[in-house]
Amino acid sequence: MSRQEAAAQYAAALKQGRKAYKEALMQGRYPYPQVLDEIISDAMVAGQTELGVLEIPADQIVGTKTAGRRSAFSADFMPLLDADTEFAGKWMSLCEAHLGDEGIRDPIRCYEYFGRFYVQEGNKRVSVLRSYGAPTIPAYVIRMVPVWTEEPAVAAYYDFMQSFPKTGVYRARFSRAGSFVKLQKALGYEPDHVWTEDERRRFLAGFTYFQEPFRKLGGDHLPITTADALLVWLKVYQFDDLIGFSSAELTKSVKAVWADIKALSEPIAVRTDTPEIKENNLLGRIFKGKQPSHLNVAFVSDQSPEQSDWARAHDLGREYLEAVLADRVTTQTFYGVGPEEAEAAMETAIENGAQLIFAETPPLIGACRKTAAKHPEIRILNCSVSMPYAGVRTYYSRIYEAKYIAGAIAGALSRSGRIGYVASNPIFGVPASINAFALGAQLTNPNVKITVRWSCVEEDAMDALAWEGVSLISNRDLPTPDRIREPWGLCRIEDGRFHSLAAPYWHWGSVYTNLVLSVLNGGWDALGATAGQAVNYWWGMDSRAVDILLGDDLPAGVRQLAGILRKGIVDGSIQPFSHATPEEILHMDTLLDCVQGRIPRYEELLPMARPLVRLQGVYRDVIPPEKEDPIL
C-alpha cells in the first residue's frame, strides 16, 4: 500500500470522525471515547481476571483506560487531528502495515467492564482497523469484575461471566440473567456444553445474519440486545432455519415475532377490569363494520374432561359460552393433545374456520406462540399468567379474593386459633392466595396462626395437618360449583371425617363469554394494551370469574359476614391488598408473619409438580430449562 493510499484512508476516517464529533455535540452526547478510570472507582470493582489474548468485537470497544489521547478520537475511534500532525503520520504508517505483507500483528491491550472494552495500549490500531470495518480485533484482555448487587444488569453480567468459558462469545450479550442457559437449550445443547470452534463460528455467522433484519426493523432503538431478540425468535424457529432462510425469508420471520420482541421492553399489562361492552356503545359503533357477527372458537387442552377436574371445569365454561351466545358462536374441541401435538391441532382448528383459540393449560404456550407467528390474524389465548408475549394473550382468575372470604370464615369459626392451609404449587398467584386467606382470618381472629403444607411436596398434606391436630383446614378449590364432594375448600374435621364449609371456585364460562363478546362487539382492542405490550387478563369476583360456595351448615352470622365481604370485593370497597398493585399481588413471593411455613424450593417438589413450576413458578427464572420445556 502506498503512502498516498494511506493518506486517502486517513482523510476518509478524519471526515467520518469529525462528522461523528459534531453529531454527538448537537445531540448532547459525549463526543470522545469514554474513559474507564472516570467511570469506575475501586469500590465498584470486586477484582480483576486476566483472560489472555482474545478476538474481541470491534464495535464493543467504547473507550480508553486513561484520559490520555482521548481528544484525538471521536467516540467511534475515528481520528480528529489534522493530517499534518505526528499522530496522523503514525496512523498512516499503521495503515500501510495493515494492508502490507507485515500486517498489524501485535494485539492491543485493554480492560473489559460489563462486556465493553477500554483500550490501554493500541488506540491507533483500533482506529485503523475500525476504519476498514474489521469485525474483530485481537486483544489481551483484563476483566474488571463489578461488585455483586441484585441489579438486573449486574445479575445478567455475572450470568455472562459464568457462560463465557463455555461459549467463548462476547457478541451475544443478554439483558436478563438466565438467558444463556435458555440459549444452550434452544441450540440443542446441554447446559454445561462447551462450544467447539466450529459451533462458535456457526453461531456467530447466524447471529450476524440475524442482526441485519433486527436492526432494519428498528431493533437499535429498543432497550434490548440483539441476543435478547434472537432468543425470542428461537422460541418459534430453529437455528437451522436461520442458516437456511434467504434474506427475505428471515426478515419475514422476524416480522412474525416482532410484537413479542418489542414486548421485552414493556411490562406485561395485567388487566383486572372487565368493562361492559355493548353493541350500541361508541366503541361498538366504531368497530361494528370490522367485527364478525359470528365467531368460530376452538378449545385446546392437553387433558380430557373425563380424567381432569381442571379440564372439566374449562369444558363446562365452553358449554356455558354456547348457552349464553348460542347463535353467535360455533365451538371446536381438541382435548387430550400434548404440547407436541397441540400445534397440529391448532392448525386443524384454523383449517376448520377457527378465528379464536383458547389453550387451557400453560404447557401449551409453545404451540400457541408458533401458531400465532404463522397466523397473526387469529386471536390466540393461553390459560396462564405472566407470559411475556404480545402475540398470545393470557387469562387467569383472581382466586385470592374468594380465599380472603374463606379465611374470614375460618377465623370466625376457629376455636383454637390454629388453621391449616393446603397450598398447591409455588406458582404465580398462590402466595397471594395464602396471604389473602391469612388476612381474612386475621380480620375475624387477630391472633390466628396459619399452618401451610404443600401438596406439591407431600401427597397427603391434608392428612398430615389432621394428624397434627388441626381441625379447620383450607383444602383445594372447588373446580366447578356442580361437583360438590368433600373435602373441597374450607373443611372442618369432625368424628374423623371432613365436612366442607365454604369453597372458592372458578367460573371459566364468564371468562370465555367476556372474551368472546369483546371480539364480537368491538372491545378486543379496548381490553388490550399499547401496541407491542403483552396482555394478561386477571379477572376476579367483579366479573364473576371466581366466586365462593357457602355450605348449608354455616352459622347465619358467618354467612351474613361472607355476603358483606363478597359485596365489598365486587364493588371495590374491600380490597384484601389495599396498597399493592395487581403486578405486585400476582408476583408475590413471600408469606405473612402469621403464616407458619415457607415456599418450597424446586428440588423439594414432587416430580409431577415440576413441569408446571418451571412454566409458572414464582422463581422460574432461576430454574435451568430442560429439553422438553418450552423456552420462556
Q: State which CATH number among 3.30.70.240, 3.40.50.2300, 3.40.190.10, 2.60.40.10 fits the domain covering 270-393.
A: 3.40.50.2300
Among all chains, which residue has been given the C-alpha cell 373435602? Answer: 487
Is the pLDDT reported for residue 286 higher than 50?
no
The mean per-residue pLDDT over the stretch 35-60 comes to: 92
Is the pLDDT reported for residue 438 higher than 60?
yes
Between the alpha carbon of residue 42 and those of residues 45, 70, 113, the distances in Å are: 5, 22, 13
Give the containing element (helix H, strand E) for 91.
helix 86-99
Band (284; pLDDT cuts 50, 70, 90): very low
Most confidently predicted of 69-78, 215-224, 290-299, 555-564: 555-564
Is the pLDDT reported for residue 631 higher than 70?
no
pLDDT at 24: 92
Q: In terms of CATH architecture, what is 400-507+545-604?
A: 3-Layer(aba) Sandwich (3.40)
Cell of 437: 386467606
pLDDT, tens only, 514-526: 999 989 987 787 6
Is the pLDDT reported for residue 491 higher than 50?
yes
Distance, in Å, from the CA atom of 516 to the CA atom of 285, rounded to the nearest integer, reads 17
Asked if the domains 270-393 and 400-507+545-604 are classified in one and the same CATH topology, the answer is yes
Distance, in Å, from the CA atom of 19 to the CA atom of 38, rounded to the nearest integer, reads 25
Torsion sign over Cα 426, 429, 430, 435: positive
| Residue of 286, 287, 206, 290 whose CA lies nearest to 253 | 206
Is the pLDDT reported for residue 530 higher than 90?
no
pLDDT, tens only, 122-172: 999 999 999 999 889 999 999 999 999 989 899 999 999 999 999 999 888
- For the chain, the domains span 1-147, 150-265, 270-393, 400-507+545-604
Among all chains, which residue has been given the C-alpha cell 379447620? Answer: 472
Strands 136-146 and 535-539 turn out to be: unpaired
pLDDT at 487: 76
Q: Percentage of the chain with pLDDT > 70?
A: 93
pLDDT, tens only, 170-213: 888 899 888 998 899 899 998 899 999 999 999 999 999 999 99
Is residue 147 within 8 Å of residue 45, measured between CB atoms?
yes
Distance, in Å, from the CA atom of 328 to the CA atom of 322, rounded to the nearest integer, reads 8
pLDDT, tens only, 86-120: 999 999 998 888 777 666 778 999 999 999 999 99
Band (1; pLDDT cuts 50, 70, 90): low
pLDDT at 249: 94
Is residue 502 within 8 Å of residue 405, measured between CB atoms?
yes
- The CATH number of 1-147 is 3.90.1530.10
pLDDT, tens only, 561-614: 999 999 999 999 999 999 999 999 999 999 999 999 999 999 999 999 999 999
The more confidently predicted of residues 136 and 438 is 438
Cell of 87: 499522530
pLDDT at 96: 86
Burial 384-419 (b: 16+ CB within 10 A, else e): bbbbbbbbbbbbbbbbbbbbbbbbbbbbbbbeeebb
